[in-house]
Amino acid sequence: MAQNAIQSWTAATLEAAEAARCLAMTTRDCTALRALFRADAQWVHSSGKVDTVDGFLAKLASGDALYLAIERSELSNRIEGQVALASGIATIDALKEGASHKLRNRFTNLWVLEDGVPRLIWAQSTAVK
């Protein structure tokens, strides 16, 4: 097991993982994001487009997609053994291909503990009208 390994999920460890994800996205910290993702993770955008970890990080690194601010609300979390599910509403200020967007998405993120390390394996957003 890794040093500082988490033995099991708690609401606090799930919130810390989600907060780290949002911070890494808004600061374009692709190294931190890669450490949070499991290698085979998939990201389903609110448009329905599906990205691999490499595809998602490439868009972020290139500046094609920039997340300026992410505010989460209506949070609901479930923990079942080594699996944790985080969901809620994300209000996002973003730039895509230079155009400003204000997004309001319902998100569902599936996390697992691998050797005591939180890893995001599935992220999915749906636009809220």
pLDDT tens figures, 48-63: 999 999 999 999 999 8
pTM for the structure as a whole:
0.91
Tokens of 122: 């599935």
Q: How far apart are the first and last CA of the chain?
A: 44
pLDDT over 50 at 1, yes or no: no
**Cα–Cα distances in angstroms (integers) from residue 3 to residues 9, 86, 115, 121, in the given order:** 16, 25, 10, 21
**What was the pLDDT predicted at 25?**
96
Q: Which residues contact 74 (CB under 8 A, 6 or more apart)?
A: 88, 89
Tokens of 19: 């907060």
The strand pair at 65-80 and 99-114 is best described as unpaired
27-45 pLDDT, tens digit per residue, is 999 999 999 999 999 999 9
